[in-house]
Structure formats: C-alpha cells, structure tokens
Structure 1
Amino acid sequence: MRKRIFTGVGLALLLVAPVALALFAGPDVRTSADAEAPAKPLAGIVAALVVGLLLVRLVPLRLPAIAPADAADRPALTRQALGLVVLALLLPALVLAVDPGIWYGPIKLALFLGGAALVLRIWRTGWRGGPTHRRSLPTRWYRLGPLPALLGWAYLLYYSPLAGSEDVSGYREYDRIYLLSAMLFTFVTASLTEEIFYRVLLQTRLEALYGRWPAIVASTMLFAVMHVHRIGDGPLWEMVAVMLAWNGGFGLLMGYLWARYRNVWAIVAAHTAVNSLSLLPVVLG
C-alpha cells in the first residue's frame, strides 16, 4: 500500500509541475543554468515526454518486470540500495550547503562512481538478477527497441514546430576547443556517470526490491533533486517545478526505457543529446 501511495504522489508531482508552469510562469522555461542557453517551449517538452513514454509502452518485444530478489539476497541488496540513496542525497545536500564551483563534476564522480563502488563492495551480494533479466530479450530488440521512443522524443524536443527556435548564438563567443572539452567533460560526469548511477545501479536494485514503477519514480525524484544547483533567481516554486517538469520528466523517460530494454547505451545517448545536441551546429559550423 505504501509503495502505491509513494508512486502515486511522485507521478502526481511530475504531472502537476508542467501544469503549474503553464498556468503561472508562461509558455517557455529555462532548462539550463547557462546564460547562453535559450528557453524551451513547455509544450515541446511535454509533448516529447508523452510521445516518448507511449512509444516505450507500445513498441513490442520488451522485457517484463524484473523478478523479485530472493529472501537470501534481500538484506544485502537493501543495504546497497540504501547506501546508493544516501549518496544520491549527499550531492544536492553539499551543493546547498557549500557551492562547490568547478569541483562539482569531480565531487559527483567521487560520490557516484567511487562511493557507489565502495557501497557495493561493503555489502556484497550474490544477486545477479540484472544481467540475467537483460539476456531474456533478443539481441535485435535490445538494440532496436529503444529507437522509436528516442527518435520520436528527440524530434519533438529539438526539430518539430513545438521545439521553438534553438538560438545558441551566445555560445559562438567560446573557442571550439573549449566547447569540445566542456562537452566531453559533461559526457563523462553527466551523461555516462548519472545514467550508470541512477538507472543501472540504483533503479535496478530498487526494482528487484520494490517493483518496477516504485523504482522508476524513486530514481526519477532523486535524479530531479540532484539538479538543485540550477536553482537561481526567481520564485522557489518555479525553480522546483522546472526541475520536476524538465529533469524529472527526462528521468522518468530514461527510467522507463531502462526498465523495458536494459540498454545502457540508449539512455546514455539520450542524455548526451540533452546536454550537447543543440551545440553541434556551433562546434561543427
């Protein structure tokens, strides 16, 4: 019963956030902390998310829910999941307490890779449900299954009439080498590290302990909370609503994709697109 309540409340918050933004904050939202980044139309964000989720749901041949962990594995697996949740909360807590500045990326790597490795090493378990679950999906569908959702989502978010104008001219004042270095650093610290931590390590364990949707919602909310460093000027409710609508919505789609296909490269590619796709014309132009 508690799992259903938690899942329902989490999904309700993700639903209410874009509605509140549309009613009280206007049609566009700022999704990046970069001053050069343009605002995005809220309609495009919502449409891309809805279509992406529907395509994940409707495209055939995907994995069923992962089997619940055996009683012998649950104690260690629970400790692992709890340790990962603590690490997920520690990063935004540090950001709120002390602005780490340029050390944000290295601190994230230390917590999400080093800290996670330590947690898994301290509370060892023989549970191997994740790899076993993945192998039950034919290789062709493992590779191709996520594509309709990713392509539909990317088109609506970046290229459709709902996407608005991607004016990234403010980035042209930067040297290309600097931009490429920043994109590579972001790929390592965000696209790769965050997907491994939130989806591969944390969500998979929560799925085995509590079920698919409680795990997706929990990892999604923790993923959204991580982005407190984007809170700036403006009403607090609006900043929180943007985190839920943009970061939470993206986390929900990635979590659903991961649960359905266990294809880490698909979610890493989508995360890379969010962080860098709009900059390609600047870098290549």
Structure 2
Amino acid sequence: MRTKALTAAGIVLLAGAPILLLVMGRTDLATSADAEAGAVPLAGVVIPYLVGLALIALIPPRLPVLAVDPDERLRRQAYWLIGLALLFPLAGVLTGESLVYPVAKVLILLVGAWVVLRRIRRPSPARAHRERIPKLWHWLGPALVILVWGYLFFYSPLAEWDVSGYEDWDRVELAVVAFYTFLTASVLEEIFYRVILQTRLEALWGRWPGIVATALLFVLMHVHRYADGPFLDITLVILTSNGALGLFAGYLWSKYRNVWAILLVHAAINGLTLIPVLIGG
C-alpha cells in the first residue's frame, strides 16, 4: 500500500509540473542547461511524450511483465544503487560546472554501480524477461514508438528548436563535446538509471513503482541546473522535461528491454538538432 501511495504521489508530481507551468503562463521551456540552447514550446515537449507513452501501451497490446522477486540480494543491490543515485546529485552541487563533475559522474554511476554488482552478485532480472519477449516486438515495438515520437518531438509543427547559439562554435570542438555528451549522458545515464537501477526496482516493487521512482531519481540528478534561475521555475522545468524523458525511456525499457532504443532516444535529445550545425556551411 505504501509503494502504491508513493507511486501515485510521484505521478501527480510529474504530471502536475507541466500543468502548473501552463497555469503560470510558461509556454516555453529551457530543456538544456547549455546557454546556447534556445527554449522550446511546452506543448512540443509534453505532447510527443504523452503520445509515445500511449503507443508503448498499445504496440503490441500484450507482453510479459517482469515478475516481482523478493530476493534479498536483489534488495541489497537496489538499495545500494539508490544510495549512489542520491549521492550523485550531491556531488553535482559540490562540483558545479568544474572538471571534477564528469569524473564524479563516472566514479559514482559507473565504477560505483560496478562495485555494487560485483560485491552483491545476482543475475539481472532483465535477462530472463528479455527471453520471454518475442524477437519481432523486441525490435519492431520500440522502432514504431520512436519513429512517431521522434517526428513529433523534432520535425512536427510542435517542434521549434533554436540551435543558432551553437553556430559560433568551432565544428571540431562541437563534435567533440557532442560525442563526450553521448558517452557520459546518453550511454552512462541510461545504463545506470534504466538498465541497472530501474530493472531492480521493477523486480522489487513492480513495473510502475520502479519506473516512477527511477524517473524521480533521474530528475534529482539535474539539481545542478538550479544555478540557472528561480527555484520553483527550475523545479517545474526539470520535472517536466527530464521527468517526461524518465517516464518515456523507463516505460520503453520496461516493455521491450531493448537497450539500443533508450540509447537512441537519449542520444537524439542530446544531439540530433546539432547535426545541421555540424554539417552546415
């Protein structure tokens, strides 16, 4: 009962953030902490994610759900990983934008998780779950979802991406930064938060409690953005943009167990709009 109540509270928090932004008249979002990144319409963020979540639920209509497992080793893994997920935002606040931040990220989310999984040995619940998912839908399901979501998010009339701030960057420097972001954000964050952490929380608590809890921990990871503006504004922005990504990528991972799908989603968000700048004149 407590888990259900906390999950419901988390959903209200994540769903209420964009509604409150709309009530406040905030129809544009700064979805990136980069000073060069322009704001995007609130509807251009919320609607693609809502459609994406609906499609995951519908394509196909039935797939096996990860069974709840009360194994003690799994519980210990999960709680240590939650500890790492809580430690990393603190490291972000302490290191700020310094060069120590990416080092702390690798040490906590990569090395820390590796140590936990090595010291508390227990096979990932996702492995057996993946074997129960028909191979066709393991690939076709997320492909259909991402195609529709990607069109709405990047190319539909809802999308208004302004990347003109990056045009003064040296192309080589921008390419290096984009590749670095791909490794440390798209890959590292998805592996830790979805593949490692969420999988274990799902196995302990169930699908949606695991997804929602991981999404909120993923939101918490972005507390370094509070340097960008007022507390309430930044809280609502990261709950809306990062929280929506957490729910979308989390449900996509939970339904199809396709790591390439969630890496593609995160990589597209971080870098797809920069491609015209990199190859343009």
Q: Into which bin does the TM-score normalised by the smaller protein fall?
A: over 0.9
1:30–1:39 Cα contact (<8 Å) kept:
yes
2:38–2:162 Cα contact (<8 Å) kept:
yes
1:106 aligned residue: 103
1:197 aligns with one of 192, 200, 206: 192
Instruction: Using the TM superposition, give the Cα deviation of residue 264 of structure 1 relative to its aligned residue in structure 2, in angstroms.
Output: 0.3
TM-score, normalising length: structure 1: 0.95
Q: Does 1:142 align with 2:138?
A: yes
Between the aligned partners of 1:228 and 1:62, the Cα distance in structure 2 is: 37
2:49–2:244 Cα contact (<8 Å) kept:
yes
1:62–1:137 Cα contact (<8 Å) kept:
no
Instruction: Using the TM superposition, give the Cα deviation of residue 118 of structure 1 relative to its aligned residue in structure 2, in angstroms.
Output: 0.3
Between the aligned partners of 1:103 and 1:161, the Cα distance in structure 2 is: 40
Once the two structures are superposed, what CA deviation does each residue of 1:143-197 show, in whole Å capped at 9, x if it has no partner?
Answer: 1110222122111111111112x22122111111111111111111010011110
Change (3 A) 1:233 1:276: closer
1:206 aligned residue: 201
Between the aligned partners of 2:17 and 2:104, the Cα distance in structure 1 is: 29
Instruction: Using the TM superposition, give the Cα deviation of residue 61 of structure 1 relative to its aligned residue in structure 2, in angstroms.
Output: 5.9
Q: Does 1:234 align with 2:233?
A: no
CA RMSD, aligned part only?
Answer: 1.3
Instruction: Using the TM superposition, give the Cα deviation of residue 233 of structure 1 relative to its aligned residue in structure 2, in angstroms.
Output: 3.9
1:113–1:193 Cα contact (<8 Å) kept:
yes
2:43 aligned residue: 43
2:95–2:101 Cα contact (<8 Å) kept:
no
Once the two structures are superposed, what CA deviation does each residue of 1:74-126 show, in whole Å capped at 9, x if it has no partner?
Answer: 1111111011111111111122234251222222111111100101111122x
Change (3 A) 1:62 1:175: farther
1:173 aligned residue: 168
List runs of 5+ in structure 2 lacking aligned partners. none
Between the aligned partners of 2:88 and 2:238, the Cα distance in structure 1 is: 16
Between the aligned partners of 1:129 and 1:122, the Cα distance in structure 2 is: 17
Between the aligned partners of 2:106 and 2:260, the Cα distance in structure 1 is: 19
Between the aligned partners of 2:94 and 2:2, the Cα distance in structure 1 is: 31
1:44–1:156 Cα contact (<8 Å) kept:
yes
1:159 aligned residue: 155
Q: Does 1:78 align with 2:75?
A: yes
